Amino acid sequence: MRERRCSWGRWDSQDLGHSRADPRGRPGRQAPRPRERAAATAAGPHRPAEEPETVTTDLARRLDPAGPATRPDVDLLLRTSGSSTGTGTLVAMPLASLLASARATHARLGGPGTWVLALPTHHVAGLQVLIRSVLSGRAPVVVDSDGGFNPDALADAIERALSARPDDPVRVPLVPTQLVRALAPGQQRAQRALARADAVLLGGAAADSELLRRARAAGVKVVTTYGMSETGGGCVYDGLPLEGVRVSIDDPDAAGVGRIVLSGPVLASGYAERGARPAGAASFREPPGSSADEPERRRELVTSDLGRLVDGPDGIRRLAVLGRVDDVIVTGGVKVAPHEVEDALTALPGVAQACVVGVPDAEWGSAVVAAVVPDTGREITDRDAWAQQCRDAVRKHLDGAHTPKRIIVLDTLPLRGPGKVDRRALARRLTSACRNAD
């Protein structure tokens, strides 16, 4: 199978990221801010429910030359899904990096194939499905997401892909929440379809070992992926970096744990927004001793994720991703900044304090759970009913991912040090409360 040769022109430098993905796997809709409305008009998100011909035609239009770029190393601006800032950051991407990622993916998986689009294309994972499809010379097979992610619709798309090109390998990128639903009892059709796919690329959030065990027991060939917008999507598959990608651990502790550092031809040019990065946020740097003769080695991405390199039973060293440095919650593949939810809660009448944490959840990876403290002197006769009223009220201002799955009323929040909320202690308490309630 040959890679399709395309005449890649310069992409408009537009912001593709003003719609949050719905946690159920369908594309979200959110009005762009006024200063970015023009950009969003030209390069707004696709909906996976569009016809494949529409998607690929529009992609080809976007790949045509569209005037001079403001910087020679920037062809596209991608907004991250939240990361350490909670609101997302504009990433300046050269097409060369996106192409390097797509080609390295094909090389790792054994060549081009037919891609199934089950993810919103305003996020990098969905965008890469389109790019890989163009390189493969095949239209993506789009999952109908009207009404939200549906395992039967996923099965339909996989079956269409298999029947259209019986000899072609079929690849299906998913987030863990989608795979959880496809493996649920009664979803045998989706499970059979997934088992026929050449690879199911699982990324966007950490997948627990039980989910991976169940998937592989059902015959699903899962490839775990790790990456982000700054790396043009997944760049580490099953713990091993793609061709040209280098992985290291920054300032490891005695157990070898430190921040994950990535470098190679898949990296973005940098961040489009000026100013210092927040503490704990991912950042680019030029390592000491870098050579001007090797431009891809002159920049590294210090991620906001913790990890370590471990030797597997086959003797090959792999990356183990352990979690985020910061407190951002990843739920169903969507990154939620706690302060956004807390601000919405404390804006409600009668709420004095609020703290939001992630609680382990079998379906979502992490569930957004909030603790609220009522105004001093306010009598709450039925705490469960009042918590539900708070949830109903805040839901009007937040999308599905940011709306707390549960709100628990407390008299006080646990504190540490100079009066700061002890999020870890609170997380333990809320985890126990949720477990007991279930």
Residue-wise pLDDT for 125-167, tens only, equals 999 999 999 999 999 999 998 888 899 999 999 999 999 999 9
Lowest mean pLDDT among 24-33, 145-154, 206-215, 343-352: 24-33
Q: What is the mean pLDDT of residues 339-350?
A: 86
pTM, to two decimals: 0.65
Rounded to the nearest integer, the mean pLDDT of the chain is: 80
Q: What is the mean pLDDT of residues 174-184?
A: 85
* CATH superfamily label, 337-437: ANL, C-terminal domain (3.30.300.30)
Q: Beta strands 365-374 and 406-409: pairing type?
A: parallel
DSSP bridge pairs for 354 = 372
Judge contact between 198 and 227, C-beta under 8 A: no
Q: Is residue 169 over pLDDT 50?
A: yes
**CA dist., res. 394 & res. 388, Å (int):** 10
pLDDT digits (tens, 9 = 90+) for 213-268: 889 999 999 999 999 999 999 999 999 999 999 999 999 988 888 899 999 999 99
pLDDT at 113: 97
pLDDT at 52: 54
Q: DSSP strand E in 205-299: where?
A: 222-228, 233-237, 240-241, 246-250, 258-263, 270-271, 283-285
Q: Beta strands 199-202 and 170-174: pairing type?
A: parallel
pLDDT at 211: 80
Domain range 34-323, its CATH number among 3.40.50.12780, 2.60.120.260, 3.40.30.10, 3.40.50.2300:
3.40.50.12780
What residue ranges do the domains of the chain occupy? 34-323, 337-437
